[in-house]
Structure 1
Amino acid sequence: MKQDSETANEPVPEESAQRAFTSYAAPLVDQAIRLAKDIHDDPSPEALHKLRVSLRRLRSLWWAFAPLLDKGENSRQRAVYKFLATAAGKTRDWDILIELLKQKDGDARALMPKLEQARRDTLATSRETLLNADVKHLLRDALATTSGELHATHDADIALRKFAARRIGASERSLKKRIKRARHAKRSNYAAFHDVRKAGKKLRYLFEFFGPVLKISHKRTLKRLKKLQKRFGLLNDTVASEALLRDNAASLADADHIEAALDWLDRKRKRRLRAASELLG
């Protein structure tokens, strides 16, 4: 009995990052598999958006654990998530363009039938790509491979809280660096603003993953990140829609309708760029 009492009073070892990985990754993998299956029955914009977000979160999680993984294998797995997210995202890009142009009166209405057809054609290709990719097998294999690699390094375990703080710190520094670059960039240098959006999104995902194990609350930072992500997301929607319309102009409608839509998108992009710039300080 004495031995049991002494054992009960011993401090419980903190969970290691290596051991915690599967508890983070498995639910995300299950969710992505379910969403990939669902789009065969539900081709709605929301279903595709959920799948793309799920795959992006997986990619961010593998980035978070990159220091503990073989560099080549980690890059390969993240490339898989990017490929799948792009397949889902191509249809989503048409959805965004259509929703934007529905806000415009006049000429944009004439584009709708061909835009809707392009969306249907792209959806068929996205579905075929995801089906042929065997999403379930790809993601299950990635989870098993990475979990096995991490469990094999138990002799070099690092406490989860310490690891989480390091990775969030690295992500915060990356975001600050990109914000500084964007502050001094010309308005025409959209890549600098896009980098801020990507870095902010990655940091937000890390807070969502690791927030419960951190000692300090990051509610204020998360609130700012959500605001940043919303404004920069709206800017990205406009930039991507302009590019999509230009790239497909020849197959969509006559030049006058296309040019009027592009002029309208150009004005909207400039307004959204100003709004995004205000958040950079």
Structure 2
Amino acid sequence: MKQDSEAITEPAREGFAQQAFASYAAPLIGQTIELAEAVHDDASPEALHRLRVSLRRLRSLWWAFAPLLDKGENERQRAVYQFLATAAGKTRDWDILIELLDKQRGAARDLLTRLEQARGETLAVSRETLLNADVKRLLREAFASTSAQLNTAHEPRIALHKFVAKRVGASERSLKKRIKRARRAKRSNYAAFHDVRKAGKKLRYLFEFFGPVLQGGHKRTLKRLKRIQQCFGKLNDTVASEALLRENASMLADAGDLDAALHWLGKQRKRRMRAVTALLH
């Protein structure tokens, strides 16, 4: 099964945006359902990561078509994807922390063992949440509801290429605004840097969805977005891991040298912050 953009960049390149929605959404919905079902058999970090990414792509796709939808409809469906991504993400957060500390020279084995135990307990909750949520039904209902609204709306039809250009343009402006804000922000203001990461990720997904429809080349922009995502992703992993370890410090107090791990993560965070600051400038 394809996991990247090639699986969802084949819809009709002409026609109206309202009609094109289904051709973009249906393959991604099917892919996400398969990934959610696979998590029940595959507990690997990669399986959970692929599911979370697929759910994020769904949120971005619904954001792209938001101007054609009732506000309530768009918010409802995006909230569903956020809820499911959070369920998968809680286990993924432990995976990232373990991967980072496993690279730490002299990391306490007892601490890593306890983190693995916490990861296992969180995975059980994640699986139960996804199972109880009935992901297949939720996603199919979201697709059917949004498709029905687009097909029955009385608003004038808009050409797909014009609609795509407007939405990509809006996303580009949002990213530039957040980059400008982050350039002026203090390094302690992590939220400003996190906003750049989210905006860059959304724009990258839109390019992957709508690349064949857009006029002109966008390979250079996509390449730059991947660099931003990679650099800011490493910072986010470090910040989130440090926060997760601090949140569970009392539970892990007797599990090896917790202070050394926190100190190491703090140094990594500062190094990553310098890297993203340099990239912005």
TM-score by length of 1: 0.93
Could you tell me how far apart the structure 2 residues matched to 1:160 and 1:154 are? Answer: 17
For 2:148, the aligned partner's letter is: G
Counterpart residue identity of residue 248, structure 1: N
Report the equivalent of 1:230: 230
2:201/2:229 contact within 8 Å kept: yes
Q: Does 1:163 align with 2:197?
A: no
Give the letter for the 1:267 counterpart.
Answer: K
- Structure 1 residues 101-125: Cα deviation after superposition (integer angstroms, max 9, x where no partner): 0111224323011100000000000
- 255-264 vs 93-102, which moves further: 255-264
- Give 1:210's aligned residue: 210
Cα pair 2:39 2:47 within 8 Å, conserved: yes
Tell me the number of residue pairs that the alignment of Structure 1 and Structure 2 aligns: 269
- In structure 2, distance between residues paired with 1:165 and 1:31: 26
C-alpha separation in 2, matches of 1:207 and 1:108? 43
Instruction: Give the aligned residue type for 2:241.
Output: S
Give the conservation status (yes or no) of the 8 Å contact 2:114–2:255: no
**Unpaired runs of 5+ in structure 2?**
1-12
* Structure 1 unmatched runs, 5+: 1-12
Tell me which residue corresponds to 1:45: 45
Shift in alpha-carbon separation, 1:108–1:148, aligned structure 2, 3 A: same
Partner secondary structure for residue 105 of structure 1: coil
SS of match in other structure, 2:250: helix
| Offset from partner CA, 1:170-189 (integer Å, 9 cap, x none) | 00000000000000000000
Query: Which one-letter code corresponds to 1:278 in the other structure?
Result: A
Contact 1:18/1:154 (CA < 8 Å) preserved in 2? no
- Residues 218-240 of structure 1: per-residue CA shift (max 9 Å, x gap): 11100100000000000000000
Say which one has the larger Rg.
Answer: 1
Q: Which residue of 2 aligns with 1:220?
A: 220
Residues 140-197 of structure 1 show CA distances to partners (whole Å, capped at 9, x for unaligned) of 0000000000011265110000000000000000000000000000000000000000
2:263 equivalent in structure 1: 263
- Please say which of residues 254-263 and 133-142 is displaced more in the overlay: 254-263
The runs of at least 4 consecutive aligned structure 1 residues that moved more than 2 Å come to 105-110, 253-256
Displacement of 1:256: 6.8
1:254, CA displacement in angstroms? 2.7
Q: Which amino acid in the other structure matches residue 138 of structure 1?
A: L
Aligned to 2:133: 133
Shift of 1:258: 1.3
| Range with bigger deviation, 190-199 or 251-260 | 251-260
Q: 2-side partners of 1:139 and 1:108: how far apart?
A: 42
How far 1:277 moved relative to its partner? 1.1
Map 1:1-281 to 2 at 5 A.
14-153=14-153, 156-254=156-254, 257-281=257-281
Q: Give the structure 2 partner of residue 4 of structure 1.
A: none
The Cα RMSD (Å) is 1.3
Answer yes or no: is the 8 Å Cα contact 1:102–1:108 preserved in 2.
Answer: no
Return closer, same or farther for 1:123/1:104 CA change in 2, 3 Å cut-off.
same
C-alpha contact (below 8 Å) 2:16/2:159 kept by paired residues: yes
* Matching residue of 1:7: none
**What amino acid does structure 1 have at the position aligned with 2:113?**
P
8 Å CA contact 1:25, 1:61 repeated in 2: yes
- Measure the CA separation in 2 of the matches of 1:189 and 1:147: 40
Give % identity: 74
Secondary structure of the 2:108 match is helix
Q: CA deviation at 1:269?
A: 0.5
Tell me the TM-score normalised to structure 2 length.
0.93
Matched with 2:4 is none
